Amino acid sequence: MRAANSGGVPKCHYCGACGEGCGTASFFNTGEQRVVPAKRAILGAGCVDSARIELHPFGEVLPRATNRIAVNAGRVDRYGVPVTHIDFDIEEYERKMIEAIYDNVEKILYGMRAEALPCRRDEIDVFGCAVHENGTCRMGNDPQRSMLNGYSQMHEVSNLFAVDGSAFPTASDKNPTLTIMALSWRATDRLAKRILGGDACAQLANAMIGYEPAARA
């Protein structure tokens, strides 16, 4: 949704962005400064230049079994590796959230005394145009429904840890970097305790890379 603000706010002469709780807000001029002198000549000195603001909220899609990534065995890339097949769609929960998002955006704009330009309230971005690469190797307690345990360790391969965004069972609209760092810290703490505790599998993995843990005091 876009809005034109014709109030007495100084015009912004550059493109920029500021973070919002629901996404991003971009402020930029519209090129109207080229016609302002003519408008002022007709309308007088009280004519004020306008600027445009664009709000771009984000929302979370609930995890569902129908939204998934699988291997497309019938199609390979240039290296002969099977490519991925992605199934994704939104349902009633997300549609209601989209309605609420538009309601909130309208409140923000009208609170700024902005004039809303025509838009479609059901319009959303093309799927996949703005994503964080999370999921597909989610953590959980049940090995039948998840790949990793709570320490980002594979249920079936004890010496394999996935310390990235693939462990997420779901993702919010926020940036995932700090959560990835926290999960990585948790995983490496767990691995360090296994090494110092005499875990044979962990010791074998370290022997392969030539690492010897310091002796405990």
**Residues 55, 109: Cα–Cα separation, whole Å:** 9
Contact 27, 16 (CB under 8 A): yes
User: Which tops the pLDDT comparison, 105 or 201?
Assistant: 105
Question: What are the tokens at 101?
Answer: 């998002």
For the ranges 56-60, 115-119, 179-183, 204-208, the maximum mean pLDDT occurs at 179-183
Mention the CATH class of domain 132-217: alpha beta
Mean pLDDT over residues 75-97, rounded? 91
Least confident of 68-72, 105-109, 207-211: 207-211
Query: What pLDDT shows up at residue 177?
Result: 92
pLDDT-derived band at 128, boundaries 50, 70, 90? confident
What Å distances lie between residue 109 and 7, 12, 129, CA to CA?
12, 17, 25
Q: Is 153 exposed, middle or buried (0-12, 13-18, 19+ CB in 10 A)?
A: buried
Kindly report, residue by residue over 18-29, the tens digit of the pLDDT: 233 344 444 444
pTM reported for the whole predicted model: 0.62
Give 186 or 43, the one with higher predicted confidence: 186
Taking the domains of the chain in order of start, what are their residue ranges? 132-217
Between CA 109 and CA 51 the distance in angstroms is 13
**Placement of tokens 């310390």 in the chain:** 163
Q: What is the mean pLDDT of residues 22-38?
A: 46
Contacts 24+ apart (CB under 8 A), 197-201: 201/158, 201/159
Q: How far apart are CA 24 and CA 139, in angstroms?
A: 30
> Does pLDDT of 195 surpass 60?
yes
Structural contact between residues 211 and 99, judged by C-beta atoms closer than 8 angstroms: no
Q: What is the pLDDT, as a whole number, of residue 46?
A: 54
pLDDT at residue 62, rounded to an integer: 85
Average pLDDT, stretch 125-134? 82
What tokens were used for 109? 């704009």
